[in-house]
């Protein structure tokens, strides 16, 4: 319910006279049981019609560990899960979202992947679908024509090749499909559709507020970050557009919070102007303005206070790594002093809790880097002692450490991921050094990250594993209490597929990668160069300080990045 892309596309599709779009979410296992017992199909929320009544079923793929849910939802609707088993034009299954940076593990199940931003391309696809339906095309003819639409990837028209050792060597298209599928983008965000009145749920959901998307893309180029690389080029919305959209949405929804969202909102150049335009309007109505995350080097108490005029929330920073050396490797250009300064300012102005986000298992990481995480946590508590205006209230520093998963489309797409054992060992070590007064240490079992790491850089041989695991009962794999690693293990064994081959193996630059026919606009050369710089411990400048020529601006066809 809280996914912005879904809100945009839902509104957009319903604004077209020939299109009727409804929502459907994966039912929790208890609901699934009831549906199956009552022989009811999985149904759409607005009409209650079964999914099988719809022409097109579109999935947003936000997380690798939701793949079995895709299969399960189709099955619950009585729709064959394999694309090849769905005949005719009915029940066309399409998918988009950030996991399409490597759609291969779902190639057997999805008819058309939409690569990039869906606003324009999905309408072209629907248009084609209408023609095909009217003229009674067969599915193959439709798919071949769909593959000609920019940004549409029809996996059935591509054949992967492997050498005698089972290594992927390349993929060849047929029926005139393009060798490379280039991501689609919306060039001018000010002119793009934005929903006036998204659905407001009557029960509590996460991120339940007005989401005002201030820009797309990110200037930072953190080397681990998939969104930072695949959502380029950088495009901003004007403050005028944003103020209008924010007020309209707040009026129409009644939300009491407007969140300025993007990958790095403090990098939005006209943030002051935007806040000036919204703050008084909001304050009068008890609506708060929120920034989802701050950069320590850009932190301004004045800004934070203005934003928090109505309600004060905690501060979050994401240093991601414990030492300057490792932060240079991952290109997270935050210095410890910046962090301490930001915290000091905040503490002096009444804040008393800070959340810090980190990763472990980053390339080149040593124990010293982990020690750095504890050192910073201690440092922040020290800063609080020196700067707090009210020491009686106490301070809470939370350090959350996630496991690093190398993602396709990033400079780290060639890197081996730490094994589960390595990650567990590091966690044990962290638990020991993070016993610090006023500091909470959050961590997560690495097994889910491991599975995520397998699928993130998987190829089509994983389709069989996903199918097998789903048949054995796997779903909601991203939920600790639902993940059945034993069943996954059985499925991998039954299919003769080795998890470590995908997750823990270093790739060489010469190797063909199974997702490289999907082109997100950033060249392989740029990613390679960034990888080499990482291993030399060299940070790179952000797009504003100096364009590195990553390639993304070519998607603007003559335009330039809005840095």
Partner 1 sequence: MSELRLLFEKRGTARYISHLDLMQVFRRAFARADVPLGFSKGFHPHPAITILLPLSTGFESVCELLDFELDAPRLPDNFLYKLNRALPAGICVTGVSESHTPARLIRYAAYEIYTEMDVTPEALTELFSRDALVITKRTKRGESETNILPLLRGFRAEPQGDGILIRVKVAAGNESLNPEYVIAAIEKYCGVTASYTSYLRREVFTEDLQVFR
Q: Quick check: 549 binds partner 1 (CB under 8 A)?
A: no
Query: How far is Cα 409 from Cα 416, in angstroms, rounded to an integer?
Result: 15
Query: How far is Cα 84 from Cα 110, in angstroms, rounded to an integer?
Result: 9
With left for phi above 0 and alpha for psi between -120 and 50, is residue 430 left, alpha or beta?
Answer: alpha
**Signed CA dihedral, 523, 526, 530, 536: sign only:** positive
Q: Quick check: 561 binds ligand SF4 (CB under 6 A)?
A: yes
If the CB atoms of residues 95 and 395 are measured against partner 1, the closer one turns out to be 395
**What proportions of the chain, in percent to the nearest 5, are helix, strand and coil?**
40, 15, 45
Among the listed ranges 195-203, 268-276, 421-429, 555-563, the one in contact with partner 1 (CB under 8 A) is 195-203
* Choice from 179, 200, 506, 538 touching partner 1 (CB under 8 A): 200
DSSP of 235-267: EE--HHHHHHHHHHHHHHH--SEEEEESS-GGG
Contacts of ligand SF4 in 176-205 (CB under 6 A): none
Query: How far is Cα 212 from Cα 228, in angstroms, rounded to an integer?
Result: 19
- Which does residue 203 touch among ligand SF4, partner 1, none (CB within 5 to 8 A, set by kind)? partner 1
Residues in contact with 32: Cβ distance below 8 Å, sequence separation at least 6, in sequence order: 72, 76, 475
Whether residue 272 contacts residue 306, with contact meaning beta carbons closer than 8 Å, is answered with: no
Query: How far is Cα 550 from Cα 184, in angstroms, rounded to an integer?
Result: 16
Whether residue 426 contacts residue 361, with contact meaning beta carbons closer than 8 Å, is answered with: yes
Least CB distance from residue 167 to ligand SF4, whole Å?
31
Place of tokens 């010293």: 368
Q: Quick check: 92 binds ligand SF4 (CB under 6 A)?
A: no
Among the listed ranges 344-352, 482-490, 505-513, 543-551, the one in contact with ligand SF4 (CB under 6 A) is 543-551
Least CB distance from residue 267 to ligand SF4, whole Å?
12
Record the tokens describing residue 477, joined without a space: 């794999």
Least CB distance from residue 286 to partner 1, whole Å?
6
Query: How far is Cα 548 from Cα 78, in angstroms, rounded to an integer?
Result: 49
With left for phi above 0 and alpha for psi between -120 and 50, is residue 255 left, alpha or beta?
Answer: beta
Task: Give the x-and-dash track for 129-158 against partner 1 (CB under 8 A).
Answer: ------------------------------
* Choice from 105, 233, 239, 411 touching ligand SF4 (CB under 6 A): 233
Task: Give the x-and-dash track for 229-258 against partner 1 (CB under 8 A).
Answer: ---------------------xxxxxxx--
User: Which residues, in sequence order, are bridge partners of residue 449?
Assistant: none
Nearest CA-CA partner of 344 in 356, 355, 333, 352:
352
* Choice from 17, 204, 481, 510 touching partner 1 (CB under 8 A): 204
DSSP of 447-493: HHHHHHHHHHT--THHHHHHHHHHHHT---TTSTTT--HHHHHHHHH
Binding residues with partner 1: total (CB under 8 A) = 16
- Which does residue 318 touch among partner 1, ligand SF4, none (CB within 5 to 8 A, set by kind)? none
Q: Quick check: 392 binds partner 1 (CB under 8 A)?
A: no
Query: How far is Cα 230 from Cα 253, in angstroms, rounded to an integer?
Result: 31
Binding residues with ligand SF4: total (CB under 6 A) = 12
- Which does residue 252 touch among partner 1, ligand SF4, none (CB within 5 to 8 A, set by kind)? partner 1
Least CB distance from residue 20 to partner 1, whole Å?
19
Place of tokens 């160069």: 529
Query: How far is Cα 419 from Cα 450, in angstroms, rounded to an integer?
Result: 7
Among the listed ranges 12-20, 71-79, 187-195, 227-235, the one in contact with ligand SF4 (CB under 6 A) is 227-235
* Choice from 4, 35, 310, 548 touching partner 1 (CB under 8 A): 310
Q: Quick check: 352 binds partner 1 (CB under 8 A)?
A: no
If the CB atoms of residues 381 and 561 are measured against ligand SF4, the closer one turns out to be 561
Write out the H or E segment, with its range, that includes residue 430.
Answer: helix 420-433
Record the tokens describing residue 554, joined without a space: 């070519």
* Choice from 36, 130, 180, 286 touching partner 1 (CB under 8 A): 286
Kindly give the pairing relationship between strand 168-173 and strand 158-162: antiparallel
Record the tokens describing residue 348, joined without a space: 């002096």
- Which does residue 251 touch among partner 1, ligand SF4, none (CB within 5 to 8 A, set by kind)? partner 1
- Which does residue 234 touch among ligand SF4, partner 1, none (CB within 5 to 8 A, set by kind)? ligand SF4
Kindly give the pairing relationship between strand 518-519 and strand 439-442: unpaired
If the CB atoms of residues 308 and 542 are measured against ligand SF4, the closer one turns out to be 542
- Which does residue 30 touch among ligand SF4, partner 1, none (CB within 5 to 8 A, set by kind)? none
Q: Quick check: 227 binds ligand SF4 (CB under 6 A)?
A: no
Q: Quick check: 536 binds partner 1 (CB under 8 A)?
A: no
- Which does residue 74 touch among partner 1, ligand SF4, none (CB within 5 to 8 A, set by kind)? none
Contacts of partner 1 in 266-285 (CB under 8 A): 285
Query: How far is Cα 445 from Cα 452, in angstroms, rounded to an integer?
Result: 12
Record the tokens describing residue 444, joined without a space: 């997560």
Q: Quick check: 517 binds ligand SF4 (CB under 6 A)?
A: no
**Signed CA dihedral, 94, 29, 465, 448: sign only:** positive
* Choice from 91, 232, 407, 475 touching ligand SF4 (CB under 6 A): 232
Among the listed ranges 94-102, 187-195, 500-508, 548-556, the one in contact with ligand SF4 (CB under 6 A) is 548-556
Least CB distance from residue 14 to partner 1, whole Å?
18
Query: How far is Cα 471 from Cα 495, in angstroms, rounded to an integer?
Result: 13
* Choice from 90, 309, 312, 505 touching partner 1 (CB under 8 A): 312
Least CB distance from residue 47 to partner 1, whole Å?
13
Least CB distance from residue 563 to ligand SF4, whole Å?
5
Query: How far is Cα 239 from Cα 169, in angstroms, rounded to an integer?
Result: 47
Name the residues that contact ligand SF4, by CB under 6 A. Answer: 232-234, 543, 547-550, 552-553, 561, 563
Name the residues that contact partner 1, by CB under 8 A. Answer: 200, 202-204, 250-256, 285-286, 310-312
């Amino acid at each position: 319910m809280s996914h912005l892309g879904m809100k945009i596309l839902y509104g957009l599709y319903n604004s077209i006279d020939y299109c009727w779009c409804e929502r459907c979410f994966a039912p929790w296992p208890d609901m699934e049981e009831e549906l199956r017992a009552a022989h009811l199909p999985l149904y759409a929320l607005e009409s209650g019609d079964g999914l099988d009544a719809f022409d097109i079923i579109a999935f947003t793929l936000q997380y690798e560990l939701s793949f079995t849910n895709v299969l399960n939802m189709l099955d619950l609707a009585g729709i064959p899960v394999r694309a090849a088993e769905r005949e005719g034009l009915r029940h066309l299954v399409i998918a988009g979202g950030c996991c399409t940076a490597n759609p291969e593990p779902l190639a057997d199940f999805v008819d058309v992947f939409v690569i990039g931003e869906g606003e324009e391309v999905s309408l072209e696809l629907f248009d084609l679908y209408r023609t095909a339906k009217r003229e009674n095309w067969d599915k193959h003819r439709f798919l071949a024509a769909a593959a000609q639409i920019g940004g549409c990837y029809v996996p059935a028209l591509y054949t992967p090749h492997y050498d005698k050792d089972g290594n992927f060597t390349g993929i060849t298209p047929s029926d005139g499909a393009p060798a490379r599928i280039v991501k689609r983008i919306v060039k001018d965000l000010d002119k793009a559709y934005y929903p006036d009145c998204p659905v407001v749920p009557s029960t509590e959901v996460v991120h339940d507020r007005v989401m005002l998307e201030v820009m797309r893309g990110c200037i930072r180029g953190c080397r681990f970050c998939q969104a930072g690389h695949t959502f380029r080029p950088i495009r901003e919305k004007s403050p005028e557009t944003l103020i209008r959209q924010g007020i309209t949405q707040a009026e129409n929804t009644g939300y009491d919070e407007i969140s300025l969202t993007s990958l790095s909102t403090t990098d939005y150049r006209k943030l002051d102007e935007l806040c000036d335009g919204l703050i008084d309007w909001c304050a009068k109505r008890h609506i708060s303005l929120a920034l989802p995350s701050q950069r320590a080097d850009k932190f301004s108490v004045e800004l934070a206070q203005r934003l928090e005029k109505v309600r004060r929330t905690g501060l979050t920073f994401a240093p991601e790594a414990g030492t300057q050396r490792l932060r240079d490797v991952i290109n997270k250009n935050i210095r410890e002093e910046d962090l301490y300064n930001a915290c000091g300012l905040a503490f002096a102005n009444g804040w008393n809790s800070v959340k810090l986000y980190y990763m472990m298992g980053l390339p080149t990481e040593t124990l010293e880097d982990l020690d750095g995480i504890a050192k910073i946590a201690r440092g922040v508590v020290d800063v609080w002692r020196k700067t707090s205006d009210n020491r009686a209230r106490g301070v809470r520093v939370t350090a959350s450490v996630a496991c690093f998963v190398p993602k396709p489309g990033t400079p780290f797409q060639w890197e081996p991921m730490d094994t589960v054992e390595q990650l567990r060992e590091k966690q044990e070590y962290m638990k020991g050094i993070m016993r610090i007064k006023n500091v909470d240490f959050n961590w997560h079992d690495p097994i889910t990250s491991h599975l995520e790491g397998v699928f993130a850089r998987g190829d089509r041989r994983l389709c069989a594993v996903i199918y097998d695991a789903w048949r054995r009962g796997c779903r909601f794999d991203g939920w600790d209490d639902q993940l059945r690693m034993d069943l996954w293990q059985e499925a991998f064994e039954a299919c003769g597929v080795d998890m470590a081959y995908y997750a823990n193996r270093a790739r060489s630059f010469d190797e063909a990668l199974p997702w490289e026919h999907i082109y997100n606009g950033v060249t392989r050369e740029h990613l390679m160069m960034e990888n080499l710089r990482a291993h030399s411990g060299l940070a790179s400048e952000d797009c504003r300080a100096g364009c590195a020529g990553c390639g993304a601006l070519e998607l603007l066809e003559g335009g330039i990045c809005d840095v």
